[in-house]
A and B are shown apart, each in its own frame.
Chain A
């Protein structure tokens, strides 16, 4: 089975542009989690989604950030009007069940805001 796929692997945006990060979960997985990692830091939870539902968005910034996981297609993390502080690695994880120990991580998208 293919693992969790994320694209693009690297994304460069200028301040004020939009960034769209995609995550295709492992086959058979219907739970998706997004985490952000700043340089020299651990991962920080952003949002947990099931198909067509946001379950927990307690880690999402109040403005400019949104996430979706449609019935068909990948999960999308969208950042509007990016600022330099948004530069980070964004990781997606997926699980078949709602389970902390069965979260498999993708390779991440490294966002650089110029």
Chain B
């Protein structure tokens, strides 16, 4: 099946630092989404991107939809302890399918 390559797999940072993560695919996506999942919970949508080249912010989070439509990145600035969790990229493939393809996730640890 389709796969998204998400990197890095984990990061350990100090409070206040910025962090970046990205996802790439060999397929073209119509939509890119970034989710955060806390332990024992379901994913919560952070940012949704709909057009190639689109750059969108949500507070300290910024994400971009790659020009080739095969990649996306997420930046978190000035990290705080509650940013701890697993971040997933997800996408909807070109062709109108409603199902989401997820990356394997990046586990973020923030040291206070």
Question: Considering only CB atoms, which chain B residue lies closest to A40 in the complex?
Answer: B104
Tell whether, in the assembled complex, residue A42 and residue B44 are in contact, meaning their CB atoms are under 8 Å apart. Answer: no
Question: How far does the alpha carbon of A96 sit from the alpha carbon of B102 in the complex, in Å?
Answer: 21
Evaluate whether A33 and B102 lie within 8 angstroms (CB atoms) in the complex, with A101-B31, A101-B33, A105-B42 already known.
no
Interface residues of chain B: helix, strand, loop or mixed (majority): loop
We find that the number of chain B residues with CB closer than 8 angstroms to chain A is 25
Contact of A69 with B by CB under 8 A:
no
Tell whether, in the assembled complex, residue A107 and residue B4 are in contact, meaning their CB atoms are under 8 Å apart. Answer: no
Contact of B11 with A by CB under 8 A:
no
Contact of B55 with A by CB under 8 A:
no
Contact of A42 among B41, B88, B92, B99 (CB under 8 A): B88
We find that the number of chain A residues with CB closer than 8 angstroms to chain B is 28
Contact of B99 among A4, A56, A91 (CB under 8 A): A56
Question: How far does the alpha carbon of A33 sit from the alpha carbon of B42 in the complex, in Å?
Answer: 13
Evaluate whether A43 and B88 lie within 8 angstroms (CB atoms) in the complex, with A105-B43, A107-B40, A107-B41 already known.
yes
Quick one: CB contact mask for A32-48 with B, threshold 8 Å, 1 for yes?
Answer: 01010000111111001
Tell whether, in the assembled complex, residue A33 and residue B98 are in contact, meaning their CB atoms are under 8 Å apart. Answer: yes
Evaluate whether A56 and B41 lie within 8 angstroms (CB atoms) in the complex, with A101-B31, A101-B48 already known.
no
Question: How far does the alpha carbon of A26 sit from the alpha carbon of B45 in the complex, in Å?
Answer: 16
Q: Which residue among B6, B31, B88, B97 has the maximum number of chain A CB atoms within 10 Å of its CB?
A: B97
Tell whether, in the assembled complex, residue A91 and residue B43 are in contact, meaning their CB atoms are under 8 Å apart. Answer: yes
Q: Spell out B's residues near A (CB within 8 Å).
A: 1, 4, 6, 31, 33, 40-45, 48, 50, 88, 90, 92, 97-105
Nearest 5 A/B pairs, CB to CB: A42-B102, A105-B42, A45-B99, A100-B92, A101-B48
